[in-house]
Structure 1
């Protein structure tokens, strides 16, 4: 995004002042006098529930923007808490451009839950710059209430103040770093007028019913958090070539969508709607965060373990979004509704609304593929669970025997909904999994 001259100058000025108070972090963090495993996960759980509310209610937080916010919140949480994890490893030096972070004195006492509380509160204030006044007030309220709940005689007021200060300095450092990734203010302009979509047979055009212009067409150029994920963008093969021949791969794929939507069972309709996660919801990326948050709470993860898992999920979601959007606007493949109306049935419509961006690859499949891989690595390949996160939206809890099963259902839901070809979801799933496998090689 572009800054005006004054804003950019002020940013550079304060960045210089800030970095003068920071040092380049070593890979291995010195042990603290108080272990972060002494606390449960209620602080991050409370803040991620607030972040999900913000994603729903704040304009401009489309799926990639939501994934970005989740990622930076999670990195700030991890980098604050890792100072209290014996033999914990900072992400500094591992993530692109993340080199200078605040220094904590390992000889002094910190309440790591209070530090995390301060860090996450400031991250949400910064990342959701256009949040409503009511939600900003709610952030203030949660921060105060959490700190009161965490205050004990074990820590002096000096310890508490030191912890709050460290959390806020960490949040400031992560936010300053985030500002250079090209996505900082995208929530203010999801549909940049400077983008002119290419035209031609087989290329994306706005779709019914809203016929919106292209959403976040430059997102694929953003900085990936983990440099290793750059390789994945070059490994995704092109979609089937455009053809109206009935024997062509694209015609067969479009006809499969057409036939599937026209013969959906009641259960398949339910699945399509369950995973729609469209505008006004917590988005597909938020749905993955909601499930992760539920699992962290239900399984009583300690603060140290929770911070590591949230960081892995957040980084994977962010990079999966960038890889996916890079592919979408590289190939600009038309959506099924366009192909079907032009070549099969001019009156046909999808079961759920088609989002305003190219078809290949599927974002939902990318997000769920990435998250299912991270969660499987932590909880196991045979871990069964129930997703309770859409009860408030009128859906029944949905149970799965494995995370893979969840991801497969989420992916096929887009074909049931009529908004993706099956190859969109298959390749999207593989791309998300590949991103997550790279993230799992990071040291925490």
Structure 2
């Protein structure tokens, strides 16, 4: 077939039109969006919001230990889920929770993931921490800080990505946050529990060796129903600790021996032991953040040390927070199942009526197992799974504090940190050795359950 010059010219023009149409059609554009992958973003927005959480938790009211862990879990779960479209190596967990009606990103649309996250954090911080969730005198400052941080990132991101992508991203983050908050509201035992941490309707059981409020202030039971709060992954069987030692006041009994060991430890503290006790305490609102949030502080230090990208930060915070949430629930379920009295009660009645623990007051709930130990072990197992079982670090959570012995301490592994954290409660005089041992066992098991969740 002979092709004339005229036919050839028409063909060239037609081909050029097709090329230009395809080039201008976004559906046929193969150039990836600069915001496609969460892993390509730095973790600045997440680290800033988590840093603010560390401050808020210090001055929150009715939040330690359980509600802090729960808030962290819901916030970091929402952050992870909101960005899952941009994390191709990870899976959504939404199918694990049939009652959760979670919106999803539109596959063909572009999103700026830091803008999505800024909306998630701002929305949930405002919902979890209204004005009545703070100690007196701190609400105005931290409610302003929440709005200020949101606006700072909003202005930066809107200018960077333009109004269309920014607004789409903000809308997604807000929608996911609201859906997670609605889901939180379906958990009657956990939702807004900070409003009534010491319910007057609860009366502790009485009997030999059973917990009763402790001196000097005899605070009523704290969160006696926390064991009924919704978990993310553990089952009812996972929530129950092994049986504690049989109660006895006989001087030849193992129970007496453990109480005597607590008395002797507190009365003969060396400097390093006192340092350990104060370093890990995190018991007092207004002084430090709580014991669950302490492990988020540790997580943040690791992520900063590793210069982790946004994807790694979201994954790590979600897993650690879920582990802390479930560990706290398990510890409190077991505490109020066994109702083991605190060392101060036993020692004052059986061994030494004038003895006092090394801390101003004993936590207002039963002893067994140790919540610090359970939370610490769960977090340590998750962190070890992500960063390695021989990962060494120096914990600077309380660096520069003068009110207590908070100088940084170095550790060869997360397990070593968890074990020292558990031991610290014996040095303070608020736990028996069995509390620490069983808390560690439970916590490590819970951490392994979280590691088995289908994140990937």
Could you say whether these structures have the same fold, taking a TM-score greater than 0.5 normalized by the shorter chain as the test? yes
Q: Distance in 2 between matches of 1:34 and 1:156?
A: 16
Cross-structure match for 1:39: 41
1:272 maps onto 2:277 in alignment: yes
Q: Which residue in 1 is equivalent to 2:388?
A: 380
Say whether 1:425 aligns with 2:436.
Answer: yes
Instruction: Give 1:151 deviation, angstroms.
Output: 4.2
* 1:178 lines up with 2:189 in the alignment: no
SS in 1 for 2:94: coil
Q: Distance in 2 between matches of 1:204 and 1:35?
A: 52
- On the 8 A contact 2:82/2:104 being kept in 1, the answer is no
Confirm or deny that 1:207 pairs with 2:214: yes
CA root-mean-square deviation: 1.5
Take 1:249 and 1:148, find their aligned partners in 2: how far apart are those partners? 63
Please say if residues 279 and 407 of structure 2, whose CA atoms lie closer than 8 Å, have aligned partners that are also in contact: no
Match of 2:341?
334
Alignment partners' CA distance in 2, 1:287 and 1:229? 25
Consecutive unaligned residues of structure 1, counting only runs of 5 or more, are: 1-30
Equivalent position SS for 1:399: strand
> Structure 2 vs 1, CA of residues 143 and 392 (structure 1 numbering), >3 Å: closer, same or farther?
farther
The TM-score with structure 2 as length reference comes to 0.87
**For structure 2, which runs of at least 5 residues remain unmatched after alignment?**
1-31
The answer for the alignment partner of 2:368 in structure 1 is 360
Q: Which residue is equivalent to 1:165? A: 171
What TM-score do the two structures reach when normalised by structure 1? 0.90
Number of the residue aligned with 2:228? 221
1:76 and 1:119 in contact (8 A); partners too = yes
Equivalence for 1:139 = 146
Give 1:25-36 correspondences, 5 Å limit: 34-36=36-38
Distance 2:73 2:50 in 1: 11
CA distance in 2 between counterparts of 1:257 and 1:241 reads: 17
Could you give the per-residue CA deviations for residues 104-136 of structure 1, whole angstroms, max 9, x where no partner exists?
111111001110111011111111123412211
Asked whether the equivalents of residues 157 and 166 of structure 2 are also in contact (C-alpha less than 8 Å), the reply is no
Q: Which residue of structure 2 aligns with residue 253 of structure 1?
A: 258
CA deviation map 1:304-350 (0-9, x unaligned): 11111101001000000000000000011000011011111111010
Number of residue pairs the alignment of both structures matches: 410
Contact 2:263 2:347 in 1 (8 A): yes
> Match of 1:71?
73
Q: In 1, Cα distance between the equivalents of 2:449 and 2:61?
A: 32
Asked if 1:413 corresponds to 2:424, the answer is yes
Distance 1:86 1:308 in 2: 12
Shift of 1:152: 5.3
Of structures 1 and 2, the larger Rg is shown by 2
* 1:107 and 2:108 matched: yes
Q: Distance in 2 between matches of 1:423 and 1:148?
A: 53
- Residue 183 of structure 1: how far off its partner (Å): 1.0
